[in-house]
Amino acid sequence: ETVMTQSPATLSVSPGERATLSCRASQSVSSNLAWYQQKPGQAPRLLIYGASTRATGIPARFSGSGSGTEFTLTISSLQSEDFAVYYCQQYDNWPRAFGQGTKVEIK
Amino acid sequence: QITLKESGPTLVKPTQTLTVTCTFSGFSLTTNGVGVGWIRQPPGKALEWLAFIYWDDEKHYSPSLESRLTITNDTSKNQVVLTMTNMDPVDTGTYFCAHSNLYDIVTGYGNYFDYWGQGTLVTVSS
């Protein structure tokens, strides 16, 4: 099984600043890595797939990078609506796995 | 337009069997490449992947829960059903279903979850 580890658990950022979230896989998942955003009381929303491809309608301030075992989600200039929990998920092998999440909070 | 909606009991007793249903529209689970997965989330905790079914009835389960899970597809009703036996209070949480497609026009390989249901909260308590 592939274990996904996200860091940090909580990220305190001021609006307008850059946020950098990390996700590590316990074995290579190639570029088969997705990022999701989840706000309280809502279902997750797909942000990034293929490690770096933005999903439909996702603003350009969200970008993903990495391959193999190390991945990064960058939010270039945080907007008020971006404060949420972010999850990575590998879909390279079975069973699929999510990371434990990074909460992006207002500093 | 793809939509999914989960339904099921809000309260189950320990040792009972949970049955949650995902009713979808905007796609068919007979189409090559299409799949539906189940994911759950205990209150205040992370997402946990549970099970997945493909258009060709290929199925995958979380190894830690495999003995308790069954995922089935009713193509005539556009529904995917997940049953979980021997429910315990630690199984309390929101259960989501989500759409996936094996093929992606940009990357060639899909299988991420692009559409999600709103989730259904299940509480396990006597």
Burial of B51 (0-12, 13-18, 19+ CB in 10 A): buried
Inter-chain CB proximity B116 and A96 less than 8 Å: no
Per-residue pLDDT of A42-61, as tens digits, reads 999 999 999 999 999 999 99
Kindly report the average pLDDT of chain B as a whole number. 96
pLDDT at B109: 84
Q: Which residues contact B29 (CB under 8 A, 6 or more apart)?
A: B35, B36, B53, B55, B73, B75, B78, B80
Which of B45, B113, B115, B120 is best to mutate for the A interface (most A CBs within 10 A)? B113
Secondary structure (H, E, C), B81-100: EEEECCCCHHHCEEEEEEEE
In which band, very low, low, confident or very high, does the pLDDT at B98 lie, cut at 50, 70 and 90?
very high
Spell out which residues of chain B touch residue A49, defining contact as CB-CB under 8 Å.
Answer: 104, 107, 110, 112, 114
Per-residue pLDDT of A72-106, as tens digits, reads 999 999 999 999 999 999 999 999 999 999 999 99
Percent of chain B with pLDDT over 70: 100
Q: Per-residue pLDDT for B11 more than 90?
A: yes
Rounded mean pLDDT of B26-41? Answer: 96
Whether the CB-CB separation of B81 and B20 falls below 8 Å is answered with yes
Whether the CB-CB separation of A34 and A23 falls below 8 Å is answered with no
Q: Per-residue pLDDT for B107 more than 90?
A: no
Per-residue pLDDT of B55-96, as tens digits, reads 999 999 999 999 999 999 998 999 999 999 999 999 999 999
Whether the CB-CB separation of B35 and B125 falls below 8 Å is answered with no
In which band, very low, low, confident or very high, does the pLDDT at B126 lie, cut at 50, 70 and 90?
very high
> What residue of A is the nearest CA neighbor of B47?
A98
pLDDT at A20: 98
**What is the enclosing helix (H) or strand (E) of B7?**
strand B3-7
Q: Please state, in angstroms and rounded to a whole number, the distance separating the CA atoms of residues A62 and A9.
A: 19
**What per-residue string of b and e applies to A19-44 under the rule 16 or more CB within 10 Å gives b?**
bebbbbbeeebbbbbbbbbbeeeebb
Q: Which residues contact B16 (CB under 8 A, 6 or more apart)?
A: B87
In which band, very low, low, confident or very high, does the pLDDT at B97 lie, cut at 50, 70 and 90?
very high
Q: Per-residue pLDDT for A18 more than 90?
A: yes
* Residue A86 Cα, gap to closest chain B Cα (Å): 10
Of B37, B111, B118, the CB nearest to A43: B118
Q: In this complex, is the C-beta atom of B104 within 8 Å of any C-beta atom belonging to chain A?
A: yes
For chain B, give the number of residues. Answer: 126
Residue B17 is given by DSSP the state P
Q: Please state, in angstroms and rounded to a whole number, the distance separating the CA atoms of residues B42 and B92.
A: 6
